[in-house]
Amino acid sequence: MNFIDECVIFVRAGAGGDGCVAFRREPNQPRGGPSGGDGGNGGSVLLVADPQLGTLYDLSYRREYHAPSGEAGQGRDCSGKSGQDLFIKVPVGTVVKNEHDEVIFDFQTKDSYFLAAQGGKGGFGNIHFATSTNQAPHKAEPGTEGEEKTLRLELRLLADVGLLGYPNAGKSTLISRISAARPKIANYPFTTLLPHLGVVRLPLSHKKTNRSLVVADIPGLIEGAHEGKGLGHQFLRHLERTRILIHLLEYSYDPERDPEKDFEILCQELEKYDPKLAKQPQLVALTKMDLTETKERYPILKDAFAAKGIHLYGISAATGEGLDVLMEEAFLQVKRIKETLGTSIP
C-alpha cells in the first residue's frame, strides 16, 4: 500500500425532510384537525480517528462524501425518518484544514472525532401551527439544507523521536537496527521516499516496566528543503509532532560535505520552516563508526561540537556501537518532556 499523507475531500451533510400538511379523516372524527408530521433530520458527516490506519490512502481515491437526507413527514402525526450519520475514518495524527488553509481540527488521540458537516434540520409539520383561531393550518416548514465543505487532510506522524539528516546519513539503517521497521536501504541518495515508524524497546528498568519509544525515519533533507527542494517540506511537517530530534551526521570524503556544515545547514532549514521546530531538543550523532576514516575523525569532531555545547555521540548501526547509550538518553529526554506535559510514557 502506498503512503499517502495528504488529500482533499468534499463532504455534504444530508438535507432535512419537509414537514407534512395532513388532516385526520376518520369515520368518528371527520374534522380531526391537523396530523402532518415533522420531517426527519439530515445525516451529519463526522471524521473519526482510527488507530488501525496509518495513511490517507483510502480517502485519496474517493473525494466526495454525502450523508443521506431525512425523509419527509407523513400524515397521522408520523415523523419522517432521519438520515444516518456518515462516519469517515482517518489516522491518528490527521490535521483538518478548511479552504483558507486554517487548521480547524487536530486528531491527536484515538477517541477523538470531528463534526465535519452538520445535517439539515427537519421541517415542522402542520400539527405545530394549529391555534385557537386557526385550527386547520395548511402550513408546514421545508427542511433546511445540510452543510457542505471542502476539507484538506494532512497526516503528520506521531512519534517520540524523529531521525533527521542528509540523504544516506544512515537513518534507514539505524531504524532497521533498533526496531522491526524495514525501510529500503541502498547506497544512493533519497533511498527513503516515505516516512517509516518503528517501535524501539529498551531493556527493562529496575522496576521491570516495559520501556519503548516510537521513532520516525524521515526522508533525507538537503539545503533549501524549506522551499520544497529535494523532498522538501512535504516531509518536514512530520517532524513537528516529535518530542525530540536525533540529528544524524556522516563523515564524507566529499570536499563540499562536512559534518559541522551539514549540521548548521539543516538547523537553518528547521528554523526557516518553523522556528518552534528548530527549538526542539536534539541529540547529535556521528554515524558509521565502523568505518576507519570515521573513527579517526570522531575525536576531532567531538571536540568541535563540544565547543558549541553539543555532545556528539558516536554510533554504528552495522555493529551496534553506541546505540544503547544514544537510545537510553533519548528515552530519558522523552520521559522528562512527557512528565512535564503531564502525560505518561510506558
Query: What does each of the 346 residues of the chain score in pLDDT, given as a tens digit?
Result: 344 567 899 999 999 999 999 988 777 766 678 888 999 999 999 999 988 777 787 787 788 999 999 999 998 889 999 999 999 999 888 889 998 889 899 888 888 999 999 999 999 999 999 887 888 898 999 999 999 999 999 877 667 888 888 877 777 778 777 765 444 433 434 344 455 666 777 775 545 456 777 787 776 554 443 344 444 445 566 677 778 889 999 887 767 778 898 899 888 888 887 787 778 889 999 999 999 999 999 999 999 999 999 999 999 988 989 998 998 999 989 888 878 765 544 4
For the chain, residues classed under CATH 3.40.50.300 are: 161-341
In this structure, what C-alpha cell is assigned to residue 296? 579517526
Indicate the CATH number for domain 161-341. Answer: 3.40.50.300
Rg of the chain over all Cα atoms, to the nearest angstrom: 29
What are the start and end residues of each CATH 2.70.210.12 domain in the chain? 1-155
The C-alpha cell of 51 is what?
A: 488507530
Question: Alpha-carbon distance 177 to 198, whole Å?
Answer: 10
Q: What is the pLDDT of residue 18?
A: 95
Please give the CATH topology (third level) of the domain spanning 1-155. Answer: Spo0b-associated Gtp-binding Protein; Chain: A, (2.70.210)
Q: What is the pLDDT of residue 93?
A: 80
> Which long-range contacts does 321-330 make (Cβ < 8 Å, 24+ apart)?
321/289, 321/290, 322/285, 322/289, 323/174, 323/177, 323/178, 324/203, 326/246, 326/283, 326/285, 327/178, 327/200, 327/202, 327/213, 328/202, 329/283, 330/160, 330/161, 330/213, 330/244, 330/246, 330/283
CB 180 within 8 A of CB 281: no
For 232-236, the CB contacts below 8 A with 24+ separation are 233/273, 234/5, 235/195, 236/269, 236/270, 236/273, 236/274, 236/277
pTM over 0.85: no
- Using DSSP's 3-state secondary structure scheme, residue 7 falls into strand
Facing residues of 88 across strands?
A: 47
Q: What is the predicted pLDDT for the residue at 157? A: 67
